[in-house]
Structure formats: C-alpha cells, structure tokens
C-alpha cells in the first residue's frame, strides 16, 4: 500500500504538470479496514514548543503520533511528515516518503526582492487522504485523491491564517504598511501581494496552479453545462467562494442547494 501511495505522488506530480489522480485501496468489509492516518499524503509537521508553534499548527497532533512511532523530528518550519498506514486493529506502520518524490515550490515575488528572504515554500500537490469514498453502497476508507492547487488555498489560508503560518504581519511590515490601524487595509494589501507571489512562483517553477478568478469562470461553465443537461448544481457556498475578493466572482451572488449526493467523499473520525 505504501508503494501504491508513493506511485500516486509521482504520477500526480508529473514534474509539475499536475495530473488529477485517485488511488483506491481495498474496500471496507467486516474483516478488513484500511486507514491512512495522514490528512494529506504530503504535509508539513507542526511542533508545540515553549517558544510557540514551529511549522504547521494543524499538524501538531499527527506529528506527535509520528514521533511516538519513531519518526525523528527536525523542528523545521517545512518538515515533510511520513505516511502512516493501519490495517484493521494491527499496530500502524510508518513510511518515510522518499526525498525525490515531493515537489516543493520556493515562494518569491515578481517585484519584491526581499520576499525570498522569508524562505517560504509549499508542496506542489494537495493529496487528500483521510476521507472515505462511497460508491454504490461500497465504502473505501482509503482512497486518496488530488487536483491541483487554487492559489488562494496557499496564499490566503495556509500562509495567511493566524492559526497557520500567520505571515501577514511580517510581510506587511516589510512592505512598510501600518499594521496598527485597520483603516490602512494592511491585511488586504498584504494578502494581494502574497497571493501574487504564490501564483508567480508556481508559474515560474512550471507547476500547475489556478487563480481564483479563472477557477470561478471554469465553475460557471460547469454550471451552464449542467443546466443544459437538466441537472441542478449542488454545493456548499462557503466552500465555493474564494477567500480573497469573493464578491468579484459570480459565485458570491448565487445560492446553491447543499444537498449530499453519492458517489461522494465523507469525513471519518481520526484513528488516533
């Protein structure tokens, strides 16, 4: 199973030309249950220290489980975590991802030379691996899948959220913005430049990514095709709008029936 997941990473990465990919492991049965403990196959570690959090705060609990299983922490901001697989009630097993597999993009800005000094980077492929897939009454508890990133996922959430890497204040200060006053709109101006840097860096590195305006236009074409076929478009509005400038997209001004359809992916309780 670990080899299949490594193959998924390599095939999906495709030297930067990201391929939407799914790997479906054995279905759930009374005698068999496969779980991948990772939220995503590639994810950065998070460490809780006396000086504060180092790395990705959303990974703290999982990182601690990896350490319990023998993984050696490096206490860096971008340490790639191993993969943990569990079969039935057997002890989980830990597998280090070969160094050559994860593709990472160093973040720089097209105009601010100092941006590189921040030493930010992010992995190229978001491979969700903790959800279960239901098809025709059959459940697959381990069926990792990926598309490619929308820039705001990295620039407006992973880097920007106060509970994640929280880099906005530092960038705003380097931009010379007044971070003591909300009226300076420093967060908005910083978010724009941070997202510009993410899109620019991925493009320069030859890695697939889409901006939120293009993604919204693509979704509008999808809606039109579904309407022409007599099918209603369902979805969670809060997930469909981008976290940056949502009102500039048509999605913001639409309503969607959040009906659960199958086949579909569903959250499942963590095994740890």
The three state secondary structure string of the chain is CHHHHHHHHHHHHHHHCCCCEECCCCCCECCECEEECCCECCCECEEEECCEEEECHHHHHHHHHHHHCCCCCCCCCCCECCEEEEECCCCCEEECCCCCCCCEEECCCCCCHHHHHHCCEEECCCEECCCEEEECCEEECCCCEECCEEHHHHHHHHCCCCCCCCCHHHHHHHCCCCCCCHHHCHHHHHHHHHHHHHHHHHHHCCCCEECHHHHHHHHHHHHHHHHHCCCCCECCHHHHCCCCCHHHCHHHHCCCECCCCCCEEECCCCCC
Backbone angles phi, psi at 46, to 5 degrees: -135, 130
What is the predicted pLDDT for the residue at 90?
97
Q: Is residue 15 domain-resident?
A: yes
What is the predicted pLDDT for the residue at 122?
98
What is the predicted pLDDT for the residue at 144?
98
Q: Is residue 271 domain-resident?
A: no
What is the predicted pLDDT for the residue at 253?
98
Distance (Å, rounded) from C-alpha 159 to C-alpha 103? 18
Quick one: 56 exposed, middle or buried, by C-beta within 10 A (0-12, 13-18, 19+)? buried
Residue with structure tokens 């593709």? Answer: 103
Digit-by-digit pLDDT tens for the chain (272 residues) are 999 999 999 999 999 999 999 999 999 999 999 999 999 999 999 999 999 999 999 999 999 999 999 999 999 999 999 999 999 999 999 999 999 999 999 999 999 999 999 999 999 999 999 999 999 999 999 999 999 999 999 999 999 999 999 999 999 999 999 999 999 999 999 999 999 999 999 999 999 999 999 999 999 999 999 999 999 999 999 999 999 999 999 999 999 999 999 999 999 999 99
Q: Is residue 195 domain-resident?
A: yes
What is the predicted pLDDT for the residue at 234?
95
Residue 107: give the domain boundaries. 2-266
Is residue 140 within 8 Å of residue 29, measured between CB atoms? no
What is the predicted pLDDT for the residue at 115?
98
What is the predicted pLDDT for the residue at 8?
98
The tokens describing 271, both together, are 């095994």
Q: Is residue 202 domain-resident?
A: yes
Residue with structure tokens 């054995």? Answer: 26
Q: Is residue 272 domain-resident?
A: no
- Report CA-CA distances (Å) from 203 to 18, 110, 144, 207: 12, 11, 25, 6
Distance (Å, rounded) from C-alpha 159 to C-alpha 165? 5
**Residue 187's domain is classified under what CATH number?**
3.90.440.10
Distance (Å, rounded) from C-alpha 9 to C-alpha 145? 10
Q: Is residue 147 domain-resident?
A: yes
Q: Is residue 226 domain-resident?
A: yes
Stated pTM of the model: 0.96
What is the predicted pLDDT for the residue at 258?
96
41: how many CB neighbours lie within 10 A of its CB? Answer: 27
**Number of independent structural domains in the chain:** 1
Beta bridge partners of 122: 105
Q: Is residue 50 domain-resident?
A: yes
Distance (Å, rounded) from C-alpha 202 to C-alpha 204? 5
């Amino acid at each position: 199973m670990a080899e299949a997941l490594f193959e998924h990473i390599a095939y999906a990465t495709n030297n930067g030309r990201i391929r939407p990919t799914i790997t479906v492991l054995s279905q759930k049965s009374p005698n068999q249950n496969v779980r991948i403990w990772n939220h995503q196959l590639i994810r950065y570690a998070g460490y809780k220290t006396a000086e504060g959090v180092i790395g990705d705060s959303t990974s703290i609990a999982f990182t601690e489980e990896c350490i319990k299983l023998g993984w050696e922490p490096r206490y860096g901001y971008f340490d790639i975590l191993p993969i943990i697989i569990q079969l039935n009630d057997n002890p989980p097993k830990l597998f280090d991802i070969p160094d050559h597999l994860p593709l990472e993009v160093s973040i720089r800005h097209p105009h601010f030379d100092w941006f590189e000094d921040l030493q930010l980077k992010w992995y190229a492929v978001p491979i969700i691996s903790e959800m279960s897939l239901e098809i025709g009454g059959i459940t697959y508890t381990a069926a990792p899948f990926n598309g490619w990133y929308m820039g705001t996922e990295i620039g407006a959430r992973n880097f920007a959220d106060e509970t994640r890497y929280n880099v906005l204040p530092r960038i705003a200060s380097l931009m010379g913005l007044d971070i003591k006053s909300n009226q300076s709109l420093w967060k908005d101006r910083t978010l724009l430049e941070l997202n510009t840097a993410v899109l620019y860096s991925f493009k320069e590195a030859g890695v697939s990514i889409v901006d939120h305006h293009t993604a919204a236009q693509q979704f509008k074409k999808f809606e039109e095709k579904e309407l022409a076929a007599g099918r209603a478009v369902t979805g969670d509005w809060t997930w469909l709008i981008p976290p940056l400038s949502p009102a500039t997209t048509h999605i913001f001004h639409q309503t969607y029936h959040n009906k659960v359809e199958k086949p579909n992916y569903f959250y499942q309780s963590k095994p740890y």
